[in-house]
Structure 1
């Protein structure tokens, strides 16, 4: 089935969304203009602190503890058969919505080239050079380095095939460009020994595909040059700009042109900093932190280093807050707070977290990174595939990371007033996270007012997250997917009506009372008119050490259908119709008490055939639905969760 411009929204490729907060801070532009940058940027690549390729002693020292692993990874690709990505693989996106048909072979090629490159840096004997030449040449032979899923919203020709006369800079094109720029920096002489055309073509490709279009175009949506307070600017902005910045810094030798390009990236990245909330929370969730705050850090790290520290934002409280969000959102046992498209499993890129902690002088971040490293005890996790800059930087901090004392944040409560996220941790083992927000956030789900609950660092009441990305995920069909719908979150269905998508559908009067251990929000504005809601106040609170309360106080304009209250569980609940539901959670059994006279509970088993969901939750989740037994236009619903 083919798609049209009306059916394919590509939500995150369009900049027409309303932001929850926006302030024209322009922090980067206040740091320096073009003329100052021309003087500040260290010339002749003197900002690069890694050893030269020929400095074998330097590389032996830099790769201490990781050299053998880097070489081993590269050796697996010495006989690698490079994938050809056919036109039909690109077209599959518009035919069926499948992205992976194109992305998988392309990604394998990029990971192979990165592993070969890093192995050659570590070993330095030329053993990997021929295969690196093959990878570079193949990359240059490709029409584009962008993904099939990203062409439709970025090209004037509406197709998932790359329009060969129109360059597209997306996440992957930027990553590949940055990687190739580092290949040129370190291995130009080695490539020239094979054939000078290889490096010449590499540099020409970087100029034609990245540097020229970035300077000439201002309509890549992620550049956000024309952003207004109503424009959504998400992780694409710092992610793409960090790659563009690296490419210019490594390739452009004209100091004036370089200063102009760097300043242009600063103007663009300022749009992201203006958009994000000063409280530091990532509305896209912890699994996107590495691409949002983490990529902003990579950008700022490059900028700070390239200017000898003269242009930096690492002393800004907002930048520190954005970093520490990842540590504060960790629940335990590998579980994290997840809303919207974020996964419930993870922790973040430990090397980036540690480097961020060093830059902003945060023991919280450094000790959290050490915890992740010690928990996984897997040095190979410091390698980041085609993101070779992160891998190179991780080599520089590996010894410090290993030597750092591990620790986790155990604050009783964390409150993000602008993003409207609230976390509360109880000494008895409960962890709660709730959100206010609105139904047009980045990677949005219709979930204003939802929550999750964990016991002894294991899930009890959960948020499913998102399945494998397809065309439908970022189209007008998005909210036909069950994971996006409010009735598959821990929320009510009012008068038979779930929440609706759009900026006007939101939580209001969102409040956190630390003393009372209570988080509350009015949800009436999150539902469309047909729900006939006059008021719906939801409150979450802890009473004493043992009880967690969920309370809905509501008034309807009319009672047209039986209200429902839904909860999503990892384990199959056991219903006792006397008013108790038992949930056998891995962290310990908990019970959920309800009004047996007021509700009829039912259980729906949700099979998880999607690997992105099943690798987190197993083969199924369960929706526990409480359907009201009476039509009421006014009342209170109460649920109590406590350990058994």
Structure 2
């Protein structure tokens, strides 16, 4: 009795303390825990001499830097010499509230930002002032906008909770941050030339950056991505390093009040700690490879900028976690037509910047990352793309020449097991298997606990569709009305007529990986709601030479509906009696015909974000159990 009471009290204490909570942050505080504000003050450069790129007047240095791509950059700039700056109308903002469309507002805003970035890079490359008037027009246009934030983002930060910009309220979202960062570089490089035209231009620009980015960042702790007021199951995702990087850029290039600059930079360090604390110890990117560049990749940008500005005195690139976060990108690469592992909202096709990967690898001393980056460049020669991410663009230019002299190769390990995130990658020559456990409240979550993907000969076989074009539903309480988010459209069972549920409490149990036998197993019963009546659903995956074995063992209390095993396929299958031909007959999925009836549904892909990856259709294979049983076992083999 005493022992039982002690165990109960202990378990209650752990529950209150948050032990076992999959979203519980680990208080590493690698930045602010290691460096005080006084340490930062000592190390910060007192002038802009820290900037690692040439002065605008150093035309020889710019010519050398742009040499491989100068013609393309100048040609792109020429296209915008007569650009007509687009007005983002009030009804464009209202469209998100009225119809759920983000694109109506985002399209003209993004096109204006693209125009300004192309003009700015062309001016840096050429240096003759030919693009200056249009750059001034772009600067003037953006300083006249009511907000730099997107219509889909402003409601979360405004007291009105509406999509029209609210008078006197400025917030930092992804778009506002990007614009603030780009405009800070324009201020730094173009201020003398703009002052010759009229000092009001640069003065106005500086004031706008301070009012729209720096002041709200310093004054507010309630912008969710900062992580300062995190509650319950709230995630800390790629917004954090991305926005903090942009704020840091503005502080370093524009803010000339020393105390304000110091306080702001140290606050970014405290905020970025919240992101690093949230990341699991294995370094996996729960948002997937196509978000890596904005998550771990933006963390690199932030840490690199902070390191440069502090004369390399404030740096954590020597931390294993930071290296592991970087190496996730090469471990998740499948091959073929740029295929990557894509759980959650990530796309199945990659496209990460190899120059960024190379720099990250160099910073954390990872030959694996550097060789992977060189492999990507050797496979398809990358062309420089000017964007509003000026720091990354200029660093790309510096990296292009260096990367050509490095060894090109892919990681050689046969598997990668992320034990905390519960994600497994298993590799054989030409084949790639990935499966996941975890919980159903990850960043960009899909209800997909226990799902898998399988590529053979570097081509998709069993797939994860990814996500369609973002709209109002995508990040709302209606998210799981969208088919791509539902477990019924993943490689998972529908148990007793019930699909998986959203929430951090819906998670896998007893997840394990045995490397020697290449066996991954987990109990996915906890991912389903109580009304499913499932006490256990143990799913096992085993990858053998030329064969994938899938085994389900289940225990359901008083089932009333037949189980259905769903498989999502890249190509239309041909159904036979106990045997299904996959990918034009190259592979076979075998099952017990006495247990199941097989049907195929064509899932038309009319969303460009999906059809650009999969074509016009993907296919859902459904194996419906012929008998309703409380206990049993299913087995499937892919050869």
TM-score norm. by structure 2 comes to 0.95
Q: SS at 1:152's partner residue? A: helix
Q: Which residue of 1 aligns with 2:17?
A: none
Cα distance in structure 1, aligned partners of 2:421 and 2:69: 39
State the Cα RMSD in Å. Answer: 1.2
Cα distance in structure 1, aligned partners of 2:112 and 2:568: 39
Q: Which residue of 2 aligns with 1:72?
A: 75
Would you say 1:634 and 2:636 are equivalent positions? no
Contact 2:73 2:121 in 1 (8 A): yes
Deviation at 1:19, TM superposition (A): 4.4
Q: Which residue of 2 aligns with 1:617?
A: 614
- CA shift digits 1:300-322 (9 cap, x unpaired): 00111000010001000000000
Cα distance in structure 1, aligned partners of 2:396 and 2:483: 39
Deviation at 1:64, TM superposition (A): 2.2
- CA shift digits 1:487-532 (9 cap, x unpaired): 0000000001010111111111110100010111101100011111
Q: Which residue of 2 aligns with 1:83?
A: 86
Cα distance in structure 2, aligned partners of 1:218 and 1:625: 48
Deviation at 1:612, TM superposition (A): 0.3
Would you say 1:265 and 2:243 are equivalent positions? no
Cα distance in structure 1, aligned partners of 2:292 and 2:44: 28
Q: SS at 1:215's partner residue? A: helix
Q: Which residue of 1 aligns with 2:523?
A: 522
Contact 1:336 1:347 in 2 (8 A): no
How many residue pairs are counted as aligned between the two chains?
A: 618
Q: Which residue of 2 aligns with 1:573?
A: 573
Matches within 5 A, 1:272-351: 272-333=275-336, 334-351=338-355
Q: Which moved more, 1:281-290 or 1:64-73?
A: 64-73
RCO (CA 8 Å, sep 6+): is it higher in 1 or 2? 1
Q: Which residue of 2 aligns with 1:93?
A: 96
Cα distance in structure 2, aligned partners of 1:71 and 1:174: 26
Structure 2 portions without partners, runs of 5+: 1-20
Contact 1:521 1:537 in 2 (8 A): yes
Cα distance in structure 1, aligned partners of 2:86 and 2:126: 26
Cα distance in structure 2, aligned partners of 1:571 and 1:439: 28
Q: SS at 1:473's partner residue? A: coil
Q: Which residue of 1 aligns with 2:422?
A: 420
Q: SS at 1:214's partner residue? A: helix
Matches within 5 A, 1:3-22: 19-22=22-25
Cα distance in structure 1, aligned partners of 2:427 and 2:214: 48
Q: Which residue of 1 aligns with 2:11?
A: none
Q: Which residue of 2 aligns with 1:196?
A: 199
Q: SS at 2:178's partner residue? A: helix
Q: Which residue of 1 aligns with 2:590?
A: 593
Deviation at 1:46, TM superposition (A): 1.4
Cα distance in structure 2, aligned partners of 1:162 and 1:293: 31
- CA shift digits 1:166-221 (9 cap, x unpaired): 11110010000000000011111111122211111100000111111111111111
Matches within 5 A, 1:469-484: 469-484=470-485
TM-score norm. by structure 1 comes to 0.94
Structure 1 portions without partners, runs of 5+: 1-17
Q: Which of these residues, 238, 241, 248, is aligned with residue 241 of structure 2? A: 238
Identify if the C-alpha distance between structure 1 residues 19 and 160 changes in structure 2 by more than 3 Å, giving closer, same or farther. Answer: farther
Contact 2:551 2:635 in 1 (8 A): yes
Contact 1:21 1:276 in 2 (8 A): no
Contact 2:466 2:610 in 1 (8 A): yes
Deviation at 1:266, TM superposition (A): 0.5
Cα distance in structure 1, aligned partners of 2:415 and 2:184: 44
- CA shift digits 1:586-605 (9 cap, x unpaired): xx811100001100000000
Contact 1:38 1:255 in 2 (8 A): no
- CA shift digits 1:51-89 (9 cap, x unpaired): 110100010111121222211111111111111110000
- CA shift digits 1:6-53 (9 cap, x unpaired): xxxxxxxxxxxx644521011101232122211100111111021110
Q: Which residue of 2 aligns with 1:12?
A: none
- CA shift digits 1:349-400 (9 cap, x unpaired): 22211110111111111111112222221313xx251111110111111101
Q: Which residue of 2 aligns with 1:551?
A: 551
- CA shift digits 1:122-172 (9 cap, x unpaired): 100001111100100000010111000001111111211111211111001
Q: Which residue of 2 aligns with 1:4?
A: none
Cα distance in structure 2, aligned partners of 1:548 and 1:324: 26
Q: Which residue of 2 aligns with 1:143?
A: 146
Matches within 5 A, 1:28-47: 28-47=31-50
Contact 1:21 1:277 in 2 (8 A): no
Cα distance in structure 1, aligned partners of 2:478 and 2:250: 37
